[in-house]
Amino acid sequence: MRDLRRHGVTMLTLGQYLQPSRHHLPVQRYVSPEEFEEMKAEAMAMGFTHAACGPFVRSSYHADLQAKGMEVK
């Protein structure tokens, strides 16, 4: 996250890899919602203006709302 901020990134999405089928790589570790909340708090403290962090968040997660400056959960 520090490197992203150093390069001027202001919006962040962090999500959990979920195994789509048994033919894909297995999940190595499940990240709890509480850990994602901690990551979001850290991101905001670093100066990100928007941070969507959670197990089901993807890079396009409510991108339209985030681009408008709206909070997403």
CA distance 6 to 30: 28
- pLDDT band of residue 59 (cuts 50, 70, 90) is confident
Q: pTM for the whole thing? A: 0.76
Mean pLDDT, the chain, rounded, equals 89
26 pLDDT higher than 80: yes
Q: 58: pLDDT confidence band, cut at 50, 70 and 90?
A: confident
Extract the tokens encoding 13.
């999405």
- Output 15-18 pairs: Cβ under 8 A, ≥24 positions apart: 15/53, 15/54, 15/55, 15/56, 15/57, 15/58, 15/59, 15/61, 16/54, 16/55, 16/56, 16/57, 18/55, 18/56
| Per-residue confidence band for 62, with pLDDT thresholds at 50, 70 and 90 | low
